[in-house]
Amino acid sequence: MNIQTQVQLKPFNTLSLDVTASHYLKVHSTQDLVDGLDYAKQQQLNVLILSGGSNMLLPQYIHALVMHMDIQGIENITEDEQSKTIRVAAGYIWHDFVLWTTEQHLYGLQNLALIPGLVGASPVQNIGAYGVEVGEFIESVQVYDRQIEKFDTIFAKDCDFSYRHSIFKDNPNRFVITHVTFKLLKHPHLVLNYGDLRQAVGDEQTAENLQKQIIQIRQSKLPDPKDYPNVGSFFKNPIIQQQVCDLLVEKFPYLPHYPQAQNNAKIAAGWLIDQSGWKGKQHGMVGMFHKQALVLVNYGQASLTDVQATYRAVQHDVYQKFNILLEPEPVLFDETGLIRSHLE
């Protein structure tokens, strides 16, 4: 175990915020994880689990032990004629894993290509795109439970998966994800009913072409964090009651909306932001991207304070026009490494 001090985290968060951690550990194994947690306990430090850094907002200084997950490996568990079950380590890059599944003729995750981050973070947000959520293909999640100080397996039915949500989001200081077990299909089942996906895929309805089109669509709309530091989609698509949606559509006929369970509807946050005048607009060093209004970009040397000022201005203008409060997706951390509400 190699604990480092006063470590710069700018290379490890995709919004490129200038952040210094008082203590830092790269976790290569489950033993590193246990040793790191013991160290934090002895030193009375909070623990911040860092994955791909693609869905987090960090202050300029963090007095905590930042544990950077880098456990690697893929293990075959079981298979039958219809599916194959594999266990993937938390430190594996998500997009590389999706590409690997397609090369192995394993199907289900192609719609989730090019999402930034690591495999271990995928269940936390129940990442989703183009009509698919990762929770549909997760069989179980392997964790270290800090409450009982033991390794454990949580099966999908107990993960409480819903839109951008899971049990891991409810208990961020309890579970550390070490591996994720996926049950993937051996025969393609293409999900093409989202946006212009069917048209993009055209007559070549293969998983390989679907993945290719997803990558091209995302690259055409979403900026590469290396060029434009960002955390992907910054706001959740609001889910509202169908009757509220109907009233909005009467007033704004072009509002993109999608039916949901329990007589609800999901509406497009990007469209609301665009209609509020924020697409391509900057507020100091931070702004909403000119090709995709849902993406907040750090155009300079922005701090967390700059980011908060911008997204709160966006929230204000959208609320003024549509009476809908947009909820940020990224997780907000404070100076002690603990998660804070965006409403505080």
Give the HSE-up count for residue 16: Cα atoms under 13 Å, Cβ half-sphere: 16
- Helical ranges in the chain per DSSP H: 30-43, 94-103, 122-125, 167-170, 197-201, 207-221, 242-251, 269-275, 304-322
Helix, strand and coil in the chain, % to nearest 5? 30, 30, 40
Distance from C-alpha of 26 to C-alpha of 276, rounded to nearest angstrom = 42
- Residues with catalytic function: 164, 233, 329
Report d(CA 81, CA 254) in Å as an integer.
Answer: 45
Query: Torsions phi, psi of 148, nearest 5?
Result: -105, 0
Pairing of strands 20-27, 61-69: parallel
Distances (CA, A) of 117 to 53, 97, 241: 7, 11, 32
